[in-house]
Amino acid sequence: MKSVRILCICLLTVSAVIGNEKCPGVTVNVSEESDVILPCSLSTNQNLEQKLFDWRKKAPTKQEVFMYDGGLHYNNGRPGQDEHFRGRVSHFPQELQFGNASIIIIRNTTVADSGVYTCDFPHLQPEQRFCIKLVVGAAPKPFVGILNISEDEALLKCEVRGASPKPKVEWRDSDGNILPAEEPQVSHTGERYDITLLTTVTRTNSSLFHCVATQEELGHVTRD
Ligand SMILES: *[C@@H]1O[C@H](CO)[C@@H](O)[C@H](O)[C@H]1NC(C)=O
Ligand SMILES: *[C@@H]1O[C@H](CO)[C@@H](O)[C@H](O)[C@H]1NC(C)=O
Ligand SMILES: *[C@@H]1O[C@H](CO)[C@@H](O)[C@H](O)[C@H]1NC(C)=O
Ligand SMILES: *[C@@H]1O[C@H](CO)[C@@H](O)[C@H](O)[C@H]1NC(C)=O
Ligand SMILES: *[C@@H]1O[C@H](CO)[C@@H](O)[C@H](O)[C@H]1NC(C)=O
């Protein structure tokens, strides 16, 4: 009966492979500076108040995020939490009795929080582990400008700075058609991308041009 329930979780969610371990999990996407809940719940709903669970970040960096052991945890004296998460992570005490070990990362998620997190119950039989992939996106508005203008043509520049994950940047006309443009200039610092896209348009009275940045991972579209 128990194994059937666990199988259901696996079917409903994405399986992330971490190293050689398979770990049922989900992907959570948020934009920068928002709060996020990383879900972790036992299908058995067993009371966790006196149990141990440990949240770690596994990739791309290894960090101790939140450990709870029978009431003692990182927010009430237990040492060992990574500096990066200090004061930003908490659990839901009232949910523990229902087998819910979800945590919230509060305050100001940044692109650097992106990665794979694991939620472990090392003392349970059988031992349980869940994986959560967190994608923190930064979606700055594109900045547009006119580089050169003549009687019948204009050279337009669209600049997106510090976006993450890497967006697709396009010039479009007022009907939404994609305009031919030069090869985008892309540079990045860590996970953040700067993209510049130039296009030459013919000046017609009615034309309105937009620069559109799309981050498919986030289902996110920003435009000038
Ligand atoms: C676990 O608790 C969090 C915070 O209250 C809630 O958002 C989430 O839905 C709960 N998960 C389950 C499976 O009940
Ligand atoms: C959020 O973090 C950024 C840099 O990571 C900082 O500049 C900003 O002040 C922070 N905002 C809050 C509300 O803490
Ligand atoms: C602007 O465009 C005109 C005509 O296309 C060209 O002659 C001129 O060199 C351009 N100026 C700059 C600064 O690129
Ligand atoms: C553009 O403006 C010119 C004069 O201002 C006018 O003669 C012409 O019909 C206009 N074209 C369109 C497509 O509106
Ligand atoms: C979250 O992002 C991943 C790719 O990083 C994507 O496959 C998934 O569909 C997104 N999920 C949601 C709910 O937006």
The tens digit of pLDDT for each residue in 113-143 reads 999 999 999 998 888 899 999 999 888 889 9
Same domain, yes or no: 132 and 41: yes
What is the rounded average pLDDT of the residues 167-183? 91
Residue 26 belongs to some domain of the structure: no
Give per-residue pLDDT as tens, 16-40: 344 335 677 889 988 888 899 999 9
61 lines ligand 2 (CB under 6 A): no
Q: Whose CA is nearest to atom 1 of ligand 2?
A: 108
Give me the CATH number covering residue 122: 2.60.40.10
Select from 96, 119, 137 the last residue of a domain.
137
What pLDDT is attached to residue 78?
Answer: 94
Read off φ and ψ for residue 217, nearest 5 degrees: -60, -30
Shortest-distance Cα residue to atom 10 of ligand 4: 205
- Asked whether the predicted pLDDT for residue 15 surpasses 80, the reply is no
How far apart are alpha carbons 183 and 166 in whole angstroms? 15
Q: Which of 12, 41, 46 to mutate to test the pocket of ligand 1 (most atoms within 8 A of CB)?
A: 41
Residue of 12, 14, 26, 27 to test ligand 5 pocket, by largest number of atoms within 8 Å of CB: 27
Report the domain count for the chain. Answer: 2
Residues facing 117 on adjacent strands? 57, 132
Q: Are residues 72 and 107 in the same domain?
A: yes
